[in-house]
Chains A and B, each alone.
Chain A
Amino acid sequence: GENVEQHPSTLSVQEGDSAVIKCTYSDSASNYFPWYKQELGKRPQLIIDIRSNVGEKKDQRIAVTLNKTAKHFSLHITETQPEDSAVYFCAVTGFQKLVFGTGTRLLVSP
């Protein structure tokens, strides 16, 4: 089945710095790659997604890049703010299901 690896598990940055989280997947047939942000005690919220026919997508301070050949995709957050602190999950569409990474805890210090 689909396997998704996510790195790093924790990431600490200073406010204003950039943060990058990377995920690798195993199934070359995967075609949809969303990123979710989950604050403590709350639901996962979709922040950005990308499909396999696109290499990069940007939404204000957030961007996602996809390398289908290497089977990895990354989340880029620029000009980080304390409210970006949360756990971020990547996910990949597997056969009839969404498979999640193990999560990255991002801490943005003022």
Chain B
Amino acid sequence: DAGVTQSPTHLIKTRGQHVTLRCSPISGHKSVSWYQQVLGQGPQFIFQYYEKEERGRGNFPDRFSARQFPNYSSELNVNALLLGDSALYLCASSFSPSGGLGDTQYFGPGTRLTVL
């Protein structure tokens, strides 16, 4: 039974560039959440999607955007990259969105983004 998958594993970009990160949830899960984890800190919530609709947004600038596709996979896009965007980006899937039964989140391996 496949878990949450993310691609790419690692990515190196320069300031000002754009990046797209991808996530495939556990089969049967309809909700995907994105987190940013800076070294030495806990994951910080960026977005949550459920049934292709945005259900929550964290305190991140408009340079960050996301979407969810009909097959429940998701993309996170970051424009105009800054050095401070360097982090591990984690995707988590759950059957339902936060606050309801079935909202237990399972994490993917993450994408390590380095901005030079």
The chain A residues found within 8 Å of chain B, CB to CB, are 6, 31-32, 34, 36, 42-46, 49, 89, 93-103
Contact = CB atoms under 8 A, between A and B. Distances in A.
Given A43-B109, A43-B110, 4 more contacts: A43-B90, A95-B99, A96-B55, A96-B98
28 contacts: A6-B42, A31-B99, A32-B99, A32-B103, A32-B104, A34-B105, A43-B90, A43-B107, A45-B107, A93-B99, A93-B103, A94-B98, A95-B99, A96-B55, A97-B45, A97-B48, A97-B56, A97-B98, A98-B33, A98-B45, A98-B92, A100-B42, A100-B43, A101-B42, A102-B41, A102-B42, A103-B41, A103-B42
Chain A interface mostly helix, strand, loop or mixed? strand
B90 to A, nearest CB: 7
Nearest to B94: A98
B8 interface: no
A99 B45 contact: yes
Chain B interface mostly helix, strand, loop or mixed? loop
Chain B: interface size category: 20 to 34
Contacts of A44: 43, 90, 107
Interface of B: 33, 40-45, 48, 55-56, 58, 90, 92, 97-99, 103-110
B109 A42 contact: yes
B5 to A, nearest CB: 11
B10 to A, nearest CB: 11
Contacts of B108: 43
Contacts of B56: 95-97
Contacts of A32: 98-99, 103-104
A94 B56 CA distance: 10
